[in-house]
Structure 1
Amino acid sequence: MTRAVWVKADDAVGDWDARRARITSALEAGADWVLVDEADVERVRELGEINVAAFRTDGDVSVIDDAEADETDARPDAVVIGKEGEGDGTVDLPSDYSGSADLSTLRRDGDVEKGAYVRILGKEYESFAEAAAVEADYTVVVGEDWTIIPLENLIARIGEETELVAGVTSAEEARTAFETLELGADAVLLDSDDPDEIRRTVEVRDESERETLDLEWAEVVSVEQVGSADRVCVDTGNLLEHDEGMLIGSMARGLVFVHAETAESPYVASRPFRVNAGAVHAYVRTPDGGTKYLSELQSGDEVQVVDLEGHTREAIVGRVKIEKRPMFRIALETDDGDRIETLLQNAETIKVATGEGRKAVTDLEPGDELKLFYEDTARHFGEAVEESIIEK
């Protein structure tokens, strides 16, 4: 599931300076949406590129029906109703409410995504949110005293009908919202002025989408010099930690953990943005669970970074450096007897994870154990497929 972070920046936040500060923090942190009043849409567009949802109230003059809206960037990506109406309690709902939500404001704008905003002030507002979800692309629910139970109810009842956006005031509340009932909310709407809280909430979003891999050990059966090949260094736009690297291999079913060049050596300074990954034919794992050939990588692509415990994150490729270098062929054997191979440069700066710790490939010997990700499946254009393919 793809998660999203919305940041609330309507007139309840304060004047335009206060709203602009939130919007700028959202842009800098990498949030997905801002929720503003419709009058602010064009000003948000001037600040940067982000999805814009706009509150519309009964008193609003719709800019969507204005022919000039597209030209002035005043058109939001989604319209949200509920403010100053039943959704936020301005218009009372009966305590035994079980009817339908009036979404006529949304229905008249057929080509714009629709959203409903509901403060959960009681059971009747849960029912109202359920009714709104039938029509709304996004259903934003905000609890006054933030509790899990209403969110659990709504996830169970409307989770597949709409994108459920849970109102939160902190990154920790966002984490809980993403984890509730194991499925979690599709998105969170953060109401906070703190730029660090906005950044932490985006980090929680990213963490919730990342997989954790089961890495295992395989025994080195041979290390052989095989001459020169075109070697690829992957230089990322991210700083890598000492226990991080990438999964690289000549065979898609078995990818070897290769450390980033974070360690100092007598010969060269550390390059904590780089993984000296192997020859051009080799695979590297990507954040979507697929693979790419090292030769295909280019600036702007994403690759998967993994640590020794199998925790993953994404990194942006800044540069790919290909040079002819002497290579080792390293052959491994898994516990079930499968043979895995890869080519790595013959250089002491290339390190792999062994049972004895971080070790240069120049020091590898038969009998050492290397950490790898093993997946007994074939690949076709980087995607796992159910077919028989022999790699050797």
Structure 2
Amino acid sequence: MKEFWVWVEPYDKKLVTTALESGATAIVVPDKEKAKEVKKLARTTVIAPGGDLELGREVVYVKIEGKEDEEKAAKYPPEVKVIVETTDWTIIPLENLIAQREELYAVVKNAHEAEVALQTLEKGVKGIVLKTEDINEIKRVGKALEAAQEKLELVTVKITRILPLGLGDRVCVDTTSLMSRGEGMLVGNSSAGMFLVHAETEENPYVASRPFRVNAGAVHMYIRVPNNKTKYLCELNAGDQVMVYNHEGRGRVVYVGRSKVERRPMLLVEGKYEDRKLSCILQNAETIRLTRPDGTPLSVAELKEGDEVLGYVEEAGRHFGMKVEETIIEK
């Protein structure tokens, strides 16, 4: 996911608090003494001389005024995070540097520049560094980054088999965010084929809605997390990041507040997209729902062969949650 840094110079407490409330992942403060003030406001990454990331060593700033500056920015070791600022906001230096560096951050002055930097060469910079004294601009950029989160091409999966399995251990993922109808988490027996399991946004006569929760399925299954990675459901802990997607495939990062593993009756669900087989194992209960193509939830208690739900497919192959190119067969 893209990072959002705010450069605060001259120091202004209100700018810092607005940045943090707008989703900033780090605060850049060139003044070493003022960096201590940021730490008093909240637990956040401070980039400063002697900060969590040391400005001038772990993070360097380069103003691009010519080709020599561009070459200088490209020559830093891969582990160094490079902040570049173009004097006339031209795209070409960014394109050249994005092609050469992973740890590249672009200085922007407003939401429009942030959107351009995030889309340059499709890949975009790793993060943006906002320089402004306008509180409203900080809020606008925060919203722009939220809108620019991951977008997946979800597919329509036709259900082919539903089989009760008896008791198993399932993971209920409670997050620190509220989800809406049409949102859920992508899980599956294989990273090559996942189902969009709907959040517990729906009321019923027996159980109140829990819109912060996804009853995600069996302990062994994969779940998508940020940066195109996966984890096993049983690995999730409080504070971990996971991805939530809506029925259009737009993803956002949420944080795990609690992960509950409990023994419950389980259900094998299999489906097909073109020639691809997908499967997952979910708790066998009315409150567990998959997601129809229009975003409406469909309870597994009502699920039948021929029903259509949303899923995601890719080539199989993961090593410690990271996608790899290898021959693999999962059944």
Shorter-chain TM-score above 0.5: yes
SS in 2 for 1:326: strand
The CA deviation string for residues 4-27 of structure 1, in whole angstroms up to 9 with x for no partner, is 43323223xxxx5xx222223333
* RMSD of Structure 2 on Structure 1 (CA): 3.0
Q: 1:74 to 1:229 in 2, by over 3 A?
A: closer
**2:115 is the alignment partner of 1:178:** no
Q: Which position in structure 2 is the counterpart of 1:103?
A: none
SS in 2 for 1:258: strand
Partner of residue 85, structure 2: 141
In the other structure, the counterpart of 1:244 is 183
Summarize the Cα distance change of 1:255–1:33 in structure 2 as closer, same or farther, 3 Å threshold. same
1:290–1:382: 8 Å Cα contact kept in structure 2?
Answer: yes
- Mapped partners of 2:285, 2:92: distance in 1: 58
CA distance in 2, matches of 1:132, 1:39: 29
Q: In 2, are the aligned partners of 1:141 and 1:164 still within 8 Å (CA)?
A: no
Number of the residue aligned with 1:228: 167
What is the rounded CA distance, in whole Å, between the counterparts of 1:222 and 1:273 in structure 2? 29
Q: Does the aligned pair in 2 maintain the 1:224–1:328 contact within 8 Å?
A: yes
Alignment of 1:69-148 (within 5 A): 77-79=54-56, 112-113=57-58, 115-116=60-61, 118=63, 125-127=65-67, 129-130=69-70, 133=73, 138-141=82-85, 143=87, 147=89
CA contact (8 A) 1:328 1:346 kept: yes
Q: Write the letter of the residue equivalent to 2:217.
A: G
Q: 2: distance between equivalents of 1:270 and 1:46?
A: 37
In the other structure, the counterpart of 1:342 is 280
Q: Is the 8 A contact 1:26 1:34 kept in 2?
A: no
SS at match of 1:352: strand
Per-residue CA deviation, residues 238-297 of structure 1 (Å, 9 max, x unaligned), is 111211101122233221111001111122111111011112222222223232222221
Contact 1:355 1:368 (C-alpha < 8 Å) held by counterparts: no
The verdict on how the C-alpha distance between 1:53 and 1:366 changes in structure 2, with shifts beyond 3 A counting, is same
Aligned residue runs from structure 1 range 327-366, under 5 A: 327-336=266-275, 338-354=276-292, 357-366=296-305
Q: Mean Cα displacement is larger for which, 196-205 or 247-256?
A: 196-205
Matched-pair contact (CA < 8 Å) for 2:247–2:293: no
Q: Partner residue of 2:208? A: 269
Structure 2 CA distance for aligned equivalents of residues 75 and 342 of structure 1: 41
Q: Distance in 1 between matches of 2:205 and 2:150?
A: 36
Q: Which residue of 1 aligns with 2:24?
A: 30
SS in structure 2 of the partner of residue 388 of structure 1: coil
**C-alpha separation between the residues in 1 aligned to 2:229 and 2:129?**
31
The one-letter amino acid paired with 1:270 is: S
Answer yes or no: is the 8 Å Cα contact 1:229–1:325 preserved in 2.
Answer: yes
The separation in 1 between residues aligned to 2:226 and 2:284, in whole angstroms, is: 28
Q: Greater strand share, 1 or 2?
A: 2
**TM-score, length-normalised on structure 2?**
0.83
C-alpha distance in 1 between matches for 2:193 and 2:173: 19
Q: Which amino acid aligns with 2:30?
A: V
1:116 Cα deviation after fit: 4.2
**Bigger relative contact order (CA 8 A; separation at least 6):** 2
Letter matched to residue 299 of structure 1: A
Equivalent residue, structure 1, for 2:228? 289
Q: 1:191 to 1:223 in 2, by over 3 A?
A: same
Q: Equivalent of 1:52, from 33, 47, 52? A: 47
Equivalent residue number for residue 8 of structure 2: 9
1:65 matched to which residue of 2? none
Unaligned runs of 5+ in 2: none
What is the DSSP-based 3-state SS (H/G/I as helix, E as strand, rest coil) of the residue aligned with 1:363? coil
The offset of 1:361, in angstroms, is 0.9
1:9-56 CA distance string (max 9 Å, x none): 223xxxx5xx222223333432423243355344444444323246xx
Q: 2:315 & 2:52 partners in 1: Cα distance?
A: 49
Shift of 1:387: 2.2
Question: Equivalent pairs: percent with the same residue?
Answer: 37
Name whichever of 36-45 and 285-294 sits farther off.
36-45
Report the Cα offset of residue 128 of structure 1.
6.3
Query: Per the alignment, do residues 290 and 37 of structure 1 end up closer, same or farther by CA in structure 2, a change over 3 Å counting?
Result: closer
Q: 1:270 to 1:184 in 2, by over 3 A?
A: same
User: Which region of structure 1 is more displaced relative to structure 2, 187-196 or 159-168?
Assistant: 159-168
Give how far 1:175 is off: 1.1
Please tell me whether Structure 1 or Structure 2 has the larger radius of gyration of its CA atoms: 1
Contact 1:41 1:75 in 2 (8 A): no
Name the residue aligned to 2:14: 21
Letter in 1 for 2:267: F
Q: 1:40 aligns with which of 26, 34, 37?
A: 34
What is the CA–CA distance in structure 2 between the aligned matches of 1:47 and 1:181, rounded to whole Å? 37
Q: SS state of the match for residue 301, structure 2?
A: helix
Contact 2:182–2:291 (8 Å) recurs in 1: no
Question: For 2:141 and 2:320, how far apart are their aligned partners in 1?
Answer: 34
Shift, 1:330, TM fit? 1.7
On the 8 A contact 1:133/1:161 being kept in 2, the answer is no
Q: For 1:74 and 1:233, how far apart are their aligned partners in 2?
A: 37
